[in-house]
Amino acid sequence: MTPSLLLLIALAIVIFVPRYGILSLYKDWRVARQREQVEDALKHLLDRESQGRHASPESLAGTLDLHRVKVTRLIADMESQNLLETRGSELHLTVEGERWALHVVRAHRLWERYLVDEARMPLKNIHKEAHHREHNLTDAQLDELDAALGHPTRDPHGDPIPTREGKMPSVQSMPVTAWQVEGLARIVHIEDEPAIAYEQILAAGLRLGQVIRIIEKTSQRFVLSDGEHEYRLAPTVAANISVAPLPESVVARARAVSLAELTYNQRAEIVTLDDAVQGFTRRRFLDLGLTPGTLIYPELQNFFGDPRAYRVRGTLIALRKDQASQIWVKPVN
């Protein structure tokens, strides 16, 4: 057998071998890419409909960064799968299209919750990584991830996570730029797009669940305060922050201190867990008995200060300072 024939055979194996050959891998990539485009299109339609509007071929082309010819082909493919309907210049989700879109949104937001709570990934990096992962989970795998995270209801930006039944919980809020009420408000959502505005909000130190007050608003800037710090933002950036009236739990928290602030052997009653405590961390706190009304106090000094030992329900537990700062308590005699 000549060397050239051996080379041809080797090339044929590399290209055509099932599952691992170049041709097979390319086909798999094409299928995955097409699925990703369909799911990104479904998310765009769902987002538009949640705003009371409808997507169009032009808006879809802009969102997916595709030429009009490719978008037309994509729309025809999605119509053949009964995922959308074209009505004039508007694109409408079908029942099946909405179900699939909610599945993708649920996957994205659960992944963001995991990346923040468990992987400790910086907030500014989670959207891109969650978008990469959201296209590869079945309904059963999503249920497992949901259960492992303790069935969270909000993603790290404050957006509601769809239920396994395909229901999207409603959130009553408004941009801080439209807030007209005097007094305190709670940050319930921080929009992560555009990225440059999101990064400015994070850099300023604002976070989900924070209680703030508007102390100045002009056409040039908004000045917010949490009682200790002031945050200056351009109106276009501030518009990405949504707020809502304070719930009773936050009103109670305003009269409390964080567990990390207690002095040695100072007893206190747990008021509430911070809104930032979600997923597996919240479930672990509840499993440890850290529920409202429970008596807790620091015990056993640590030379390095962190972690610290606390006595709760007759058991000694260790909590890091960042964990204890998310548990709000009321000192008692």
pLDDT band at residue 329 under the 50/70/90 scheme? very high
9 vs 136: which has the higher pLDDT: 136
- Select from 234, 241, 195 the least CA-distant residue to 218: 234
Which residues span the domain enclosing 44? 3-93
The reply to whether 239 and 293 lie within a common domain is no
Instruction: Give the Cβ contact number of residue 104 at 10 Å.
Output: 22
The reply to whether 229 and 293 lie within a common domain is no
Highest mean pLDDT out of 7-16, 20-29, 85-94, 301-310: 85-94
Choosing from 59, 93, 127, the residue where a domain stops is 93
Burial class (CB in 10 A: 0-12, 13-18, 19+), 283: middle
The reply to whether 16 and 85 lie within a common domain is yes
pLDDT exceeds 80 at position 252: no
The reply to whether 195 and 179 lie within a common domain is yes
Q: Please state whether beta strands 268-273 and 327-331 pair in parallel, antiparallel, or not at all (unpaired).
A: antiparallel
Q: Is residue 153 part of a domain?
A: no
Q: Is residue 163 part of a domain?
A: no
Q: Please state whether beta strands 295-298 and 268-273 pair in parallel, antiparallel, or not at all (unpaired).
A: antiparallel
- Select from 41, 108, 115, 46 the least CA-distant residue to 71: 41
Q: 225 phi and psi, to 5 degrees?
A: -140, 140
Mean pLDDT of the chain: 86
- Select from 253, 252, 317, 257 the least CA-distant residue to 290: 317
Choosing from 93, 122, 138, the residue where a domain stops is 93
Peptide bond into 194 cis (omega under 30): yes
The reply to whether 88 and 7 lie within a common domain is yes
Question: What average pLDDT does range 190-197 have in this prediction?
Answer: 89
Q: Are 114 and 126 in contact (CB under 8 A)?
A: no
Q: Is residue 265 part of a domain?
A: yes
Q: Is residue 207 part of a domain?
A: yes
Question: What average pLDDT does range 73-92 have in this prediction?
Answer: 94
CATH of the domain at 49: 1.10.10.10
Percent of the chain with pLDDT over 70: 86
The reply to whether 179 and 199 lie within a common domain is yes
Q: Is residue 306 part of a domain?
A: yes
Q: Is residue 19 part of a domain?
A: yes
Proportion of the chain in helix, strand, coil states, percent, rounded to 5: 45, 20, 35
255-313: pLDDT as tens digits: 688 898 888 889 999 988 887 777 778 888 888 899 989 999 998 776 667 889 999 99
The pLDDT of residue 237 is 96
Instruction: Give the Cβ contact number of residue 50 at 10 Å.
Output: 11
Q: Are 264 and 301 in contact (CB under 8 A)?
A: yes
Choosing from 246, 264, 281, the residue where a domain stops is 246
312-326: pLDDT as tens digits: 999 999 998 888 988
Q: Is residue 167 part of a domain?
A: no
Task: Please state, in angstroms and as integers, the Cα–Cα distance from residue 295 to each residue in 31, 283, 289, 315, following that order.
Answer: 56, 19, 10, 11
Q: Are 101 and 93 in contact (CB under 8 A)?
A: yes
The reply to whether 198 and 258 lie within a common domain is no
DSSP line for 45-80:
HHHHHHTT--B-HHHHHHHHT--HHHHHHHHHHHHH
The pLDDT of residue 220 is 92
H-run or E-run covering 92: strand 90-93
Cα(58)–Cα(152) distance, rounded to whole angstroms? 35
pLDDT band at residue 48 under the 50/70/90 scheme? very high
Region of residue 293 (phi > 0: left; psi between -120 and 50: alpha; otherwise: beta):
left
CA atoms within 13 Å, Cβ hemisphere of 186: 19
Q: Are 161 and 106 in contact (CB under 8 A)?
A: yes
DSSP letter at 275 equals T
The reply to whether 228 and 292 lie within a common domain is no
Q: How many independent structural domains does the chain possess? A: 3
Cα(255)–Cα(270) distance, rounded to whole angstroms? 12
Percent of the chain with pLDDT over 90: 49
The reply to whether 23 and 38 lie within a common domain is yes
Cα(106)–Cα(168) distance, rounded to whole angstroms? 9
Q: Is residue 87 part of a domain?
A: yes
The pLDDT of residue 189 is 92
Q: Are 124 and 198 in contact (CB under 8 A)?
A: yes
CATH of the domain at 276: 2.30.30.90
